[in-house]
Structure formats: C-alpha cells, structure tokens
C-alpha cells in the first residue's frame, strides 16, 4: 500500500518554516566536501552564531602550522582549526550540579581545568545533524565510531562553560595533527 506524499499546503502555518528549512537543507554528496559547514538559510534565527567558511584548499599555503583533527580509529579528517568554535573557560567544577562534582578537595577551583572536548560548527559529514535530530551522537563516516555528541539547545563543557548550540567532539577519540 502506497501513501500519497503530503504537499506543503497540508501543513499548518506554524510548520511552514520547518518545511522551508527542510527543503533548503543540503544533502550529503559523495565528493570530498565533508568538512564544509552546513549552509543554513538566513531565514532562521541563528544570527547569533556566525558560520565560518571552511576553505580547505589552502591548508598548506598559510605561514603558521595548521591543525587538523582525525578519527583515532580510521584516521579520517573530521575537523580543521577553522571549524572550531571558541568558548571562554567557565569557573570549573563549581559550575556543575553538586551530583556531578568529584568532591576532590585538592582542586578547590584554583587550577584551571582543561577542556576534554572541542566544539565545532555543524559540518556535512555529521549525518545525524542532516537527518534533522535535535540531539544525538556524532559518528565517524569512515568507521562509524562514536566521536562526540551534538545538541542544538547547547551543553556544558568540562571547563564549566555553556556552549550553544553544541557540536562536541571528544579529544580522547581524536588525533590532533599539525600540517
């Protein structure tokens, strides 16, 4: 039994912006443009989040060494320095709920806590992002190993800072390479 496809006129007025966003969402291609950030239409209200252009053609031509991040399992490139989203370090463990604190009295918040993750902009290789999920795990396209997590509502970094929206890649699952 086949079901008829719904037309745009079948949707309520509140859902029309979602349909428009869905129609303008790019589909993953087979070329090597997986590191490019997802281009979203300007009609959405994400003017607070600048989308950096990922020009991966000149990685070797700049004067300073470039950093790329690779999957530890299959060595596939998943991000470059240009794709990182910087955030200001938080106040450390004092930002977390009391259940999440380690209770280690030696740390007292005096030592700065290093981030255990990097935050990147949404990119084409992130299949679950393109499928329209609000939050989900991020898997490597090569080996399907889990690299991190994303949440459009944001999440807290290990340093205590809140990053919104958050596309988090765990450093323990990545190799940082200088080129």
Is residue 139, in this structure, part of any structural domain at all?
A: yes
Q: What is the spatial distance between Cα 71 and Cα 2, in angstroms, rounded to a whole number?
A: 41
Three-state secondary structure call for residue 37 = strand
This prediction's pTM: 0.58
The two structure tokens encoding residue 39:
């281009």
Q: How many domains does the chain have?
A: 1
Is residue 12, in this structure, part of any structural domain at all?
A: no
Is residue 64, in this structure, part of any structural domain at all?
A: no
Which pLDDT belongs to residue 43? 41
More confident residue, 91 or 12: 91
Q: What is the spatial distance between Cα 69 and Cα 175, in angstroms, rounded to a whole number?
A: 6
Structural domain for 156, as ranges:
84-101+113-170
Is residue 141, in this structure, part of any structural domain at all?
A: yes
Is residue 149, in this structure, part of any structural domain at all?
A: yes
- Which DSSP letter does residue 35 get? T
Decide if pLDDT at 39 tops 70: no
- pLDDT (tens digit per residue) in 41-96: 444 434 333 434 444 444 445 556 689 999 999 999 999 999 999 988 877 656 55
Is residue 144, in this structure, part of any structural domain at all?
A: yes
Is residue 159, in this structure, part of any structural domain at all?
A: yes
Is residue 148, in this structure, part of any structural domain at all?
A: yes
Write the CA distances from 66 to 2, 82, 122, integer angstroms.
Answer: 52, 9, 20
- pLDDT (tens digit per residue) in 116-162: 999 999 999 998 888 889 999 999 999 999 999 999 999 988 888 88
Q: What is the spatial distance between Cα 69 and Cα 53, in angstroms, rounded to a whole number?
A: 17
DSSP assignment of 107-167: TTTTSPPPPSEEEB--BTT-HHHHTT-SEEEEE-TTT--EEEEEETT-EE-TTS-EESSEE
């Amino acid at each position: 039994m086949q079901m008829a496809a719904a037309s745009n006129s079948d949707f309520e007025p509140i859902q029309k912006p979602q349909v428009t966003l869905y129609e303008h969402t790019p589909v993953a291609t087979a070329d090597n443009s997986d590191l490019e950030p997802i281009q979203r239409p300007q009609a959405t209200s994400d003017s607070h989040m600048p989308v950096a252009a990922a020009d991966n053609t000149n990685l070797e031509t700049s004067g300073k060494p470039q950093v790329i991040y690779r999957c530890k399992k299959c060595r596939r490139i998943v991000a470059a320095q240009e794709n990182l989203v910087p955030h200001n370090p938080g106040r450390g463990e004092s930002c977390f709920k009391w259940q999440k604190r380690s209770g280690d009295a030696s740390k007292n918040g005096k030592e700065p806590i290093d981030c255990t993750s990097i935050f990147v902009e949404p990119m084409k290789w992130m299949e679950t992002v393109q499928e329209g999920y609000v939050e989900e795990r991020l898997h490597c396209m090569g080996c399907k190993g889990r690299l991190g997590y994303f949440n459009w509502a944001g999440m807290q970094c290990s340093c205590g800072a809140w990053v919104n929206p958050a596309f988090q890649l765990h450093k323990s699952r990545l190799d940082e390479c200088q080129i």
